[in-house]
């Protein structure tokens, strides 16, 4: 009854309606896998950020099922270049794995409840470990474009939260602890994998802003003073729904550009995509070492 009075959430997607939409999306994915016994019941999902589509190479070429986001009910379709918008299901180290190639962002006009619909559908399918990747600007002056940062904490300055609205009690608790959101064991494995792959791995705090503009110099100064090492426009909503559902989270940020107050040129989306390609090769090398341990 209380839900009926909650017309205040502008997208109208909350409570039972949100739960219904998540189930509908999950059922559509399950249905697409019905003829592929080896790909059912995936426990691992990997979300690919801007320019990181090459990570799909980590899946065996066969068997694979590809599902365009547009074919999955209730999943929003992205409009940003570098985000293919396709769910690829395949085997990584012999285990069924979901690769979410491309994500939609709240700045495209979606609520964070909508933005996280596909991740929540994956969690409903039984995913217990979520690996997130994104592109970011490096606030930490020691970071160079093309380098990789392991996210060990986040600051949510997006102005929104996907868990706003009546709590979905069947999925998780009302008040989600976030002090240890980034699984310490997984981070240890990630550092070791980076060492074996010969990939330099920074570690630090990711700050999420809503975007879509890149930051002003005054904002960059503030974000660094707040304790940020990298800044971007995604990932935090996905971490929140995954932690709400009790899944383990590991997240990598690809620093595609310097984002210090004294930067000597303005960042462009083209630069982000180009440097994403450079960094993606490093991330693929790291994940190739890491995946067998994640699915073990």
Catalytic residues: 50, 83, 105, 107-108, 135, 233-234, 257, 269
Our finding on whether 56 is near ligand HPA (CB under 6 A) is no
Tokens of 113: 């409840």
Our finding on whether 135 is near ligand HPA (CB under 6 A) is yes
Question: What is the closest distance, in whole angstroms, from the C-beta atom of residue 109 to ligand HPA in the complex?
Answer: 18
Pick the binder of ligand HPA from 9, 155, 171, 267 (CB under 6 A).
Answer: 267
Pick the binder of ligand HPA from 272, 283, 286, 290 (CB under 6 A).
Answer: 272
Q: What is the residue-wise DSSP string for 156-174?
A: EESS--TT-SS--TTT--S
CB-CB contact of 276 with 135 (8 Å): yes
Our finding on whether 259 is near ligand HPA (CB under 6 A) is yes
The structure tokens 């930490």 sit at 140
Distance CA 200, CA 148 (A): 7
User: Which residues inside 227-246 make contact with ligand HPA, applying CB under 6 A?
Assistant: 231-233
Question: What is the closest distance, in whole angstroms, from the C-beta atom of residue 141 to ligand HPA in the complex?
Answer: 14
The residue (of 97 and 136) whose beta carbon lies closer to ligand HPA is 136
Our finding on whether 256 is near ligand HPA (CB under 6 A) is yes
Distance CA 214, CA 211 (A): 7
Pick the binder of ligand HPA from 42, 51, 85, 137 (CB under 6 A).
Answer: 137
Pick the binder of ligand HPA from 25, 158, 257, 290 (CB under 6 A).
Answer: 257
Count how many Cα atoms sit within 13 Å of the Cα of residue 229 in the half-sphere of its side chain. 20
The residue (of 215 and 238) whose beta carbon lies closer to ligand HPA is 215
Our finding on whether 252 is near ligand HPA (CB under 6 A) is no
The residue (of 16 and 213) whose beta carbon lies closer to ligand HPA is 213
Instruction: Choose among 216, 83, 209: nearest CA to 154.
Output: 209
Our finding on whether 82 is near ligand HPA (CB under 6 A) is no
Pick the binder of ligand HPA from 214, 244, 250, 252 (CB under 6 A).
Answer: 214
Q: Is 117 exposed, middle or buried (CB count within 10 Å of its CB: 0-12, 13-18, 19+)?
A: buried
CB-CB contact of 121 with 25 (8 Å): yes
Distance CA 129, CA 36 (A): 21
Helix/strand/coil for 153: strand
Count how many Cα atoms sit within 13 Å of the Cα of residue 79 in the half-sphere of its side chain. 6
The residue (of 49 and 76) whose beta carbon lies closer to ligand HPA is 49
The number of residues making up the chain comes to 296
Helix/strand/coil for 78: coil
Pick the binder of ligand HPA from 114, 215, 229, 289 (CB under 6 A).
Answer: 215
- Binding-site ranges for ligand HPA (CB under 6 A): 135-137, 214-215, 231-233, 256-257, 259, 267, 272
């Amino acid at each position: 009854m209380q839900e009926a009075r909650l017309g205040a959430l502008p997208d109208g997607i909350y409570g039972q309606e949100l739960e219904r939409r998540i189930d509908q999306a999950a059922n559509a994915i399950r249905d697409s896998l019905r003829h592929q016994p080896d790909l059912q019941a995936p426990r691992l999902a990997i979300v690919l950020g801007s320019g990181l589509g090459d990570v799909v190479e980590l899946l065996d070429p066969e068997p694979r099922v590809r599902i365009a986001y547009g074919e999955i009910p209730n999943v929003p379709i992205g409009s940003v270049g570098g985000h293919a918008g396709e769910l690829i299901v395949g085997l990584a180290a012999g285990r069924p794995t979901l690769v979410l190639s491309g994500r939609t962002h709240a700045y495209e006009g979606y609520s964070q409840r909508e933005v996280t619909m596909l991740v929540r559908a994956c969690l409903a399918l039984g995913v217990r470990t979520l690996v997130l990747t994104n592109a970011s600007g490096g606030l930490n002056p020691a970071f160079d474009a093309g380098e990789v940062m392991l996210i060990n904490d986040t600051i949510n300055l997006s102005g929104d939260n996907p868990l706003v609205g009546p709590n979905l009690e069947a999925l998780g608790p009302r008040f989600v602890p976030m002090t240890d959101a980034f699984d310490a064991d997984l981070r240890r494995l990630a550092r070791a994998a980076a060492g074996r792959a010969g990939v330099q791995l920074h570690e630090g705090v990711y700050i999420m802003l809503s975007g879509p503009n890149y930051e002003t110099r005054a904002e960059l100064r503030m974000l660094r003073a707040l304790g940020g090492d990298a800044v971007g426009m995604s990932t935090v909503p996905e971490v929140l729904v995954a932690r709400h559902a009790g899944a383990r989270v590991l997240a990598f940020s690809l620093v595609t550009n310097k984002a210090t107050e004294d930067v000597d040129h303005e960042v462009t989306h083209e630069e982000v995509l180009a440097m994403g390609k450079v960094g993606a090769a490093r991330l693929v090398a790291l994940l190739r070492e890491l995946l067998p341990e994640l699915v073990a």
